[in-house]
């Protein structure tokens, strides 16, 4: 599920204007060892803008922080987001939030809407929400996989948090890229669909974190929002 393209930002990029993008999220946004030195999806986004529109068209600021949650990010918004006066903020939370279980969903929904409101009030910018990638837990027999949904542990009901991200995008009128849905339905190469944990693992560094291949897929799913190329010239 891709959001409609941000036509005003695309028009500015085509006209040679420079825009600022902040990527706000957790360890699946921050540059970590899970990519083993390869580009994160945010770094690929910067390269995609360069390859599509030319040099010096965008500043992409990585405001990911390992272990962060929606509730936790408010303390750093001035430092990591507002002072850059971004034109687009890409928000990706839910993975760490979901560790609170079903009891935390109501607070997550409230805080996500508060975050959208505060970003708009302070930046007057476009906002794009991202759902989390599915978990890749061990294929243990006592876990039941609901039809059409990736395997999850009872203590980590990520799908409930993903649904709140979808609702917030619809109710607040933000963009949305639904990685969770796309990964659950899609196939990559010869592997089975990602609803099968064995199909998800080639994209993953561990149970939670995508590897470089997973970040490449993130980019591919985000690229249509800014009209970016799908494949880079150096790729086979």
CATH code at position 129: 3.40.50.1110
Q: Which residues pair with 24 in a beta bridge?
A: 63, 91
Instruction: Indicate the pLDDT class of residue 143, thresholds 50, 70 and 90.
Output: low
Q: Is residue 166 a part of any domain in this protein?
A: yes
Q: Is residue 232 a part of any domain in this protein?
A: no
How many separate domains does the chain show? 1
Q: Is residue 55 a part of any domain in this protein?
A: yes
Q: Is residue 234 a part of any domain in this protein?
A: no
Give the residue numbers spanning the domain of 200: 7-226
pTM: 0.92
How would you classify the pairing of strands 19-25 and 88-92? parallel
Half-sphere exposure of 98 (CA within 13 A, CB side): 25
Q: Is residue 215 a part of any domain in this protein?
A: yes
Least confident of 53-62, 109-118, 181-190, 214-223: 181-190
Residues in the chain: 236
Least confident of 17-31, 106-120, 121-135, 183-197: 183-197
Name the CA radius of gyration of the chain, rounded: 17
Look at residue 149 in the predicted model and tell me its pLDDT.
64
Q: Is residue 233 a part of any domain in this protein?
A: no
Mean pLDDT highest for which of 32-46, 135-149, 158-172?
158-172
């Amino acid at each position: 599920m891709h959001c409609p393209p941000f036509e005003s930002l695309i028009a500015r990029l085509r006209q040679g204007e420079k825009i600022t993008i902040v990527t706000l999220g957790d360890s699946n946004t921050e540059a970590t060892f899970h990519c083993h030195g390869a580009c994160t999806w945010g770094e690929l986004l910067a390269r995609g803008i360069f390859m599509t529109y030319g040099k010096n068209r965008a500043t992409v600021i990585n405001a990911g922080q390992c272990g962060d949650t929606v509730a936790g990010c408010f303390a750093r918004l001035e430092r990591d987001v507002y002072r850059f006066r971004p034109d687009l903020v890409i928000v990706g939370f839910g993975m760490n939030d979901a560790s609170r279980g079903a009891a935390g969903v109501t607070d997550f929904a409230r805080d996500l809407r508060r975050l959208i409101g505060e970003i708009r009030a302070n930046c007057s910018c476009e906002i794009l929400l991202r759902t989390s990638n599915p978990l890749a837990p061990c294929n243990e027999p006592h876990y039941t996989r609901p039809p059409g949904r990736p395997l999850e542990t009872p203590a980590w009901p990520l799908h409930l948090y993903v649904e709140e991200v979808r609702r917030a995008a619809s109710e607040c009128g933000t963009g949305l890229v639904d990685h969770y849905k796309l990964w659950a339905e899609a196939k990559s190469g010869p592997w089975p669909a990602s609803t099968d944990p064995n199909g998800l693992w080639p994209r993953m560094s561990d149970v939670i974190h995508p590897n470089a291949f997973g970040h490449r897929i993130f980019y591919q799913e985000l690229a249509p929002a800014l009209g970016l190329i799908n494949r880079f010239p150096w790729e086979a």
